[in-house]
Structure 1
């Protein structure tokens, strides 16, 4: 009985608080003022379907102004905060933030222009084909609140009976006639002003592709005639306006193409260019179709020959216009790209194309310093020095060179932990074309690139071992469009040479095959390919991202050397056994945007690496890892898995990354904006890694039919500080399912105890990172 009283009390308290919020919203109104609660639209017509009524009503509601105060479950919390906050004396401080940033000014009945909304309803209905629409309105008020009821009598909707494109003997009319088969105006479809506008833009786009540079959609008129047909039919007549400017009807072609690759905005004075605009007097550096005005010869003319789609005599078209601009930008060497067309012969209908290009700083030097900590009680720092040259051989080649040094030292915890030191350098040359014995033609707006990289890293784990790692690659990157990108490395080489392996490390790794493989010589080479598709740049409620990667190591060499056939001895190159495996990884992401401030992000990762031929195991550097700030965040970086292997069995003080050959991972994150740069998130992660083959030193690590019972689950909350130039992310997570616990006892809900400091220390994981996890 006592519990019932408590329940009733909670309900009564909740109801009382809600009532207080509601009454507070009207208590601050002056005499004669009424809070506007919104509009209701009734459509009186029995001849149109329910779907048509629903569609029409939604369109009308979206156009009515003003919108009432936002509400949640019948309450208006923003209005409540506006009312209770005092009027601030300055445009800053807590009161100002609460009243004008969190709060929302009341929308009053006096703010509503009912006659204006009535006109909107009638005009919108007629624009959608409901001619002779008539609307009335009525106001209903109660307790200082008012709503407006609009009644619409739209009549029957007019349908298109015929579509005619007026014909004459002019050139532009003949081109318009060639575009009629793709018209948006269809017989039997409703009259719709938005479709008419789209039709005008379609014709304009088509003419722009046929040389009519100065044409404009407003030059087209679409007449609607309701007198030629009965039964609510309308005939559409598409024609050119009588007052269309003569310049809009002329079809232009390219005369000369002139490039100023070292243009500066300071060259414009009083709206005029100080650079010469008469190409006949200019020195020509390219072939006969292109003039490159570059007295200092900073750029090789051939880069413009590849980037410019217009040649002398070409008919102007918008596609090549935009492709050229995009390719010039994607070269990465120009900060601003400006384009001008100047009529050279009005009788021949030709113009010259000018490209005014402002270079970026060709060289830059950047020094980066950062600090970090990891899950093994290490803290460290890294220093990077990066030099970039964006025009290395005067052909827009980008050359990047970097040197770095890093160290991690023990700051507490096990006494046996050892310090780590890394140093290395990397160079990359990116050439803005495909360097190959075959010809590669691309009509993409993005310049394809040939990338060549070389790198070296020295890593020393004190009192354990030293690793010398050499890397190199040669390959191509090209984009079909803004959504699709290909990255093919013809050859991707990694050579790892261990040195100074101490007796201590040999002792602790004696019974651990995985640790022994870390200090084995490794030679990995072969092609890799990745394909990326994304439409996340689009302003749509639902967007996706996908990246698939294929890594093939030693496949052709294994065939040539006979390593594919089972042998007692590994095949070697220069005394080093080469790795042979196939690896594939898929990363799929789905984003749903509820509104401007809230969204849902999800991700699924599935990958497998299979050793064969010359290899029994996947090289450590090419395996999968789980846990950490961008993975299953309730587990520290690279500590999760493989399988149900229990990392607590590792001797205290010896920390080594856990890796696997198979990876499955699922992530979901609800994101919301609180205030300007402050965002919050609630997330859940699940996943693990497994081995393909048995590892006696890590029982439970092999992938089996019991893999679902070995999935780890974690959840948490996070803050994101979005400072535009970077996003600082703090995620606090805890494990909900631990795969190395006893079977049947892996869910941890019954073990959660926030009041226990030991539990918090062992289970609450704080991840600090830059950027979103996915």
Structure 2
């Protein structure tokens, strides 16, 4: 044992020695690789990212402590082309042979090929050169630390530094900062040359970011300048700019106090070679002109019309209702100029999706003798009325060996002259499957086809006015859509009809609200008798039970069997249905456990083969603080509430007089309708760890409760676990419910909990990597399922949370990301209690997930 321990220790020490040597492979003699930056502030060690960002030199990037990019760089030859030439010159006969075989030109070009130098150049490009300590940059870093604290009011800061060599061509830099006592804002005096701006400032002075007795911070002064500029420009000061605001800060002999003078100068006018100053004016909007086409085209007559104070010009007949053009405009005649109204107009116009990005210009109204009026000109360039859309794709799934998918459609803009958009689409899929359960043995034996119609309005489409509740500043829109599809494949061959009336608006910036007033879906199973051909696991369970009591089962229920040593097979559908009926009514005596299993199989079959009529209303609220696509420190919070069946319950009582089906449930037009309430919470949080590293997390909770006319949730509205955007160690529908072990072909339930964390990092170039952990499961609760393995039973069910972990790579194409994740079952609740950790944790049981964009 001692010998083994010694060998292991020697192996580890050898590995560390080789690793240490390899990272300094390209460090020149006399120089040192930067191993670490230590920052000490007032005697306390600091590790703040804001402080590290002040330093001109950072250690080489690493992934979990391993300098991958540095090692890639070190693998490259320093001067591959010169090495090649030296190799040629060492043996003249070699050079002559290659010249005869190729040519002198090709021999020289070979030195620049990928085989000789291209490979090394590639490694240098994707790799990272060793960061060696540069004394000049160290001094610059110290000066930046000095400036960093100076801007925060520490005007007497002192910064020192030292370089400690660590051996093996490595060293670390120690920065020591002594900030001293901070300065505090004392007196604040204002000097505003323009009287109207002085009056405006008095109304907003209480909101100033610069306050007496507050520690001096340069960022407060920068943000206060921007705040004042925004305030003035939203109240008529059209020509006002941030450079009209300046400060004078006195700190001489003030005992750590800063006396601030705020100065707002007059407007500077430049007229040819003459420059002079004059007081700022507050402008009003005297006229708003909207141009819908290029008026430079003199071949067409210019037409004009007036509507609620707006003037609308067009070449030829106006193709839009006046209201459709004026509703998105927030710049109103007679009101003060405001930057905010221009921004809202840009946003609303762009949201219409029928014009190019609008152009808004302001010119002085020459008819106003006071010179305090502006004319607004809005230029709109319409898109083409018709846009044809076509797409095609080749697909593969666990059902289809190969599939051809395509769609064709047309987008018609300004359908009713109110900036509406109508989208008409037909879609289809032809697939080939070798599954033995498909009777059709032709090559393309799977097909699905459908059509969709979507009509969008740039306003709330409702019988009564909603402006008081949802003003147009919230950019409201309405979407009416209808869809129909038919599916013919290994499944139950479904027909699907849907209709949605959706409203969407933005209550605040970065907040979105969406409501489906009506979300109607009718799913009809064309071949319910094919159930046991599709759900093989249910059939196998039922068949095993039938073979347990084979002597009591009518032989006619089985397929004729010529081999007495093999289990007999129930006939689908006659044999399976007859056996289930005789077990449930007691004709065939079975154990209580087997009877419960048969009933469970029958309930699941009934639920998945029954036609569904769902009429739901839902509301979704989403908020985020993400600034832009490059912002990696943000959160997204989304919550949704949905109810279904209440309206249909009322209609059923009126139209069918409370008519009920054979199962006792109420119907409308002879179809049982679903009733449930469903709530979801989804939270995503990203942390920017700097230098290409991001920690992303997601938490999800969803619960759907059946009531009234339902004792379970429709399959299309239930939850499943597993897949590329969920727990990646399990395939879709293969996890849960609870600790059941995913025994069914398609496992679903009405309660779901999920949590995922993913560390993302750059490998090199556009290639990124990730390591992740996914926790979650689904359960049945308050529905028809009673098996404790499937149901949520309080705190004890948290032991049924599955844990998957793994790693993946992503390639960023800028406009989308392609990713591959490898998931491993780390904790499997479907296994026995003492046999759940790290079973099947190997590449032979890896679950591969391919997806577009990040999972959350």
Contact 1:509 1:516 (8 Å CA) reproduced: no
Match among 71, 76, 84 for residue 85 of structure 1: 76
Deviation at 1:736, TM superposition (A): 3.0
Change (3 A) 1:84 1:460: closer
Q: Please say if 1:730 is aligned against 2:811.
A: no
Aligned equivalents of 2:440, 2:736: Cα separation in 1: 21
Aligned partner of 2:613 in structure 1 is 523
Aligned equivalents of 2:178, 2:786: Cα separation in 1: 80
Change (3 A) 1:693 1:20: same
Change (3 A) 1:483 1:351: same
Match among 762, 768, 776 for residue 679 of structure 1: 768
Aligned partner of 2:22 in structure 1 is 21
Deviation at 1:211, TM superposition (A): 0.8
- Residue 798 of structure 2 aligns to a residue whose secondary structure is helix
Change (3 A) 1:159 1:521: closer
Q: Please say if 1:357 is aligned against 2:439.
A: no
Instruction: Spell out the pairing of 1:208-223 with structure 2 (5 A cutoff).
Output: 208-223=233-248
Aligned partner of 2:344 in structure 1 is 323
Match among 663, 666, 669 for residue 571 of structure 1: 666
Match among 170, 179, 191 for residue 166 of structure 1: 191
Moved more, 192-201 or 535-544: 535-544
Aligned equivalents of 1:290, 1:321: Cα separation in 2: 17
Instruction: Spell out the pairing of 1:38-77 with structure 2 (5 A cutoff).
Output: 62-65=53-56
Aligned partner of 2:450 in structure 1 is 424
Aligned partner of 1:547 in structure 2 is 638
Q: Please say if 1:661 is aligned against 2:661.
A: no
Contact 2:284 2:372 (8 Å CA) reproduced: yes
Aligned equivalents of 1:151, 1:709: Cα separation in 2: 50
TM-score, structure 1 as length reference: 0.84
Change (3 A) 1:411 1:612: same
Change (3 A) 1:532 1:397: same
- Residue 700 of structure 2 aligns to a residue whose secondary structure is strand
Contact 1:532 1:545 (8 Å CA) reproduced: yes
Moved more, 7-16 or 166-175: 166-175
Change (3 A) 1:17 1:308: same
Q: Please say if 1:334 is aligned against 2:331.
A: no
Aligned equivalents of 1:672, 1:452: Cα separation in 2: 42
Deviation at 1:189, TM superposition (A): 2.1
Change (3 A) 1:149 1:289: same
Aligned partner of 1:270 in structure 2 is none
Match among 255, 258, 263 for residue 239 of structure 1: 263
Match among 442, 449, 452 for residue 480 of structure 2: 452
Instruction: Spell out the pairing of 1:262-277 with structure 2 (5 A cutoff).
Output: 262-263=293-294, 274=296
Instruction: Spell out the pairing of 1:199-598 with structure 2 (5 A cutoff).
Output: 199-226=224-251, 230-241=254-265, 244-245=268-269, 246=277, 249-263=280-294, 274=296, 283-345=304-366, 347-376=370-399, 379-411=402-434, 420-441=446-467, 442=470, 447-461=475-489, 465-499=492-526, 501-502=528-529, 506-507=573-574, 510=577, 511=580, 512-538=602-628, 542-558=633-649, 569-598=664-693
Deviation at 1:289, TM superposition (A): 2.6
Contact 1:41 1:149 (8 Å CA) reproduced: yes
Aligned equivalents of 2:840, 2:178: Cα separation in 1: 64
Deviation at 1:666, TM superposition (A): 2.4
Aligned equivalents of 1:550, 1:382: Cα separation in 2: 33
Deviation at 1:96, TM superposition (A): 1.3
Moved more, 236-245 or 250-259: 236-245
Aligned equivalents of 2:199, 2:113: Cα separation in 1: 62
Change (3 A) 1:119 1:729: closer
Structure 2's unaligned 5+ residue stretches are 82-111, 270-276, 531-570, 581-601
Match among 204, 218, 222 for residue 179 of structure 1: 204
Change (3 A) 1:373 1:35: closer
Contact 1:444 1:479 (8 Å CA) reproduced: no
TM-score, structure 2 as length reference: 0.76
Deviation at 1:431, TM superposition (A): 0.6
Aligned partner of 1:3 in structure 2 is 4
Structure 1's unaligned 5+ residue stretches are 44-48, 268-273, 651-655, 755-759
Aligned equivalents of 1:664, 1:489: Cα separation in 2: 25
Aligned partner of 1:640 in structure 2 is 735
Instruction: Spell out the pairing of 1:688-767 with structure 2 (5 A cutoff).
Output: 688-692=777-781, 700-705=789-794, 706-741=796-831, 743-752=832-841, 754=843, 760=844, 763-767=845-849
Aligned equivalents of 2:481, 2:623: Cα separation in 1: 25
Contact 1:215 1:248 (8 Å CA) reproduced: no
- 1:389-414 deviation per Cα after TM superposition (whole angstroms, max 9, x unaligned): 23222322121121112244433577
Aligned partner of 1:653 in structure 2 is none
Change (3 A) 1:475 1:193: closer
Aligned equivalents of 2:176, 2:113: Cα separation in 1: 43
Deviation at 1:106, TM superposition (A): 4.7
Deviation at 1:767, TM superposition (A): 2.3
Contact 2:330 2:345 (8 Å CA) reproduced: yes
Contact 2:186 2:258 (8 Å CA) reproduced: yes
- 1:297-323 deviation per Cα after TM superposition (whole angstroms, max 9, x unaligned): 233321221111111111011211211
Change (3 A) 1:131 1:639: closer
- Residue 473 of structure 1 aligns to a residue whose secondary structure is strand
- 1:263-284 deviation per Cα after TM superposition (whole angstroms, max 9, x unaligned): 5xxx9xxxxxx589xxxx9723
Moved more, 542-551 or 696-705: 696-705
Aligned equivalents of 1:127, 1:616: Cα separation in 2: 65
Aligned partner of 1:623 in structure 2 is 718
Contact 1:377 1:413 (8 Å CA) reproduced: no
Question: Aligned pairs, how many?
Answer: 734
Contact 2:310 2:326 (8 Å CA) reproduced: no
Q: Please say if 1:611 is aligned against 2:706.
A: yes
Contact 1:337 1:355 (8 Å CA) reproduced: yes
Deviation at 1:502, TM superposition (A): 4.5
Contact 1:158 1:234 (8 Å CA) reproduced: yes
Which structure has the larger Rg over C-alpha atoms? 2
Aligned equivalents of 1:396, 1:35: Cα separation in 2: 63
Change (3 A) 1:476 1:142: closer
- 1:144-179 deviation per Cα after TM superposition (whole angstroms, max 9, x unaligned): 778777777766433222111126672222222322
Contact 1:465 1:505 (8 Å CA) reproduced: no
- Residue 486 of structure 2 aligns to a residue whose secondary structure is strand
Aligned partner of 1:271 in structure 2 is none
Aligned equivalents of 2:80, 2:279: Cα separation in 1: 57
Contact 1:518 1:620 (8 Å CA) reproduced: yes
Change (3 A) 1:113 1:616: closer
Aligned equivalents of 2:234, 2:800: Cα separation in 1: 59
